[in-house]
Amino acid sequence: MNQLLKAIIASLLPISELRGGIPIAVASGYSYLAAFVVCVIANILVIPITFFILDYLHKYLVKISLYKKIIDKSIEKGKRGIENKIGTKWEFIALMLFVGIPLPITGAYTGALIAWFFKLNRKKSYMALSLGVLMAGIIVTLVVLTGSTIFRIFVK
């Protein structure tokens, strides 16, 4: 399988998102810029897909215990991080930062789930989530760049 396709798939998966995609692309020989652009775009595509699933398929999927367990856990984790900002002028920034700081369970999927759960304005949510993905992409790319530079220094 093409290595770039692997990076795209990793960027689309809820577990890795672009935190996995960018390192895969860079390790496969793609430039940092190409890895960043491709993986950020792939991860942003997750947002409308997640909203579609939640808007139209959630009522059927919630009957599946694994799906319900993952959704419940994600909502609880996300609620703790953003709940006190909902309905305030900080809502947009809180959602963007929640997605933008690349920690476990803080990506586009969980951000879209939180926006859907709290019935946030969809246009503002798309923008906050997209900016969060962009921010996470920059951070991950810088970490990979720094890590590979440090590795090269110590290997020589």
Q: Yes or no: say if 141 and 35 are a contact pair by the CB < 8 Å rule.
A: yes
The per-residue pLDDT for 88 is: 79
Q: How many helices (H) and strands (E) does the chain have?
A: 8, 0
Q: What is the mean pLDDT of residues 1-15?
A: 91
Q: Quote the Cα angle for 119-75-97, to 5°.
A: 75
The per-residue pLDDT for 36 is: 97
pLDDT tens, residue by residue, 99-109? 999 988 889 99
Region of poorest pLDDT, from 1-15, 69-83, 122-136: 69-83
Q: Which residue has the higher pLDDT, 67 or 128?
A: 128
Q: Yes or no: say if 17 and 46 are a contact pair by the CB < 8 Å rule.
A: yes
Query: Rounded to two decimals, what is the model's pTM?
Result: 0.86
Residue 132 predicted with pLDDT over 90: yes
pLDDT tens, residue by residue, 70-101? 888 877 776 776 777 777 788 999 999 999 99
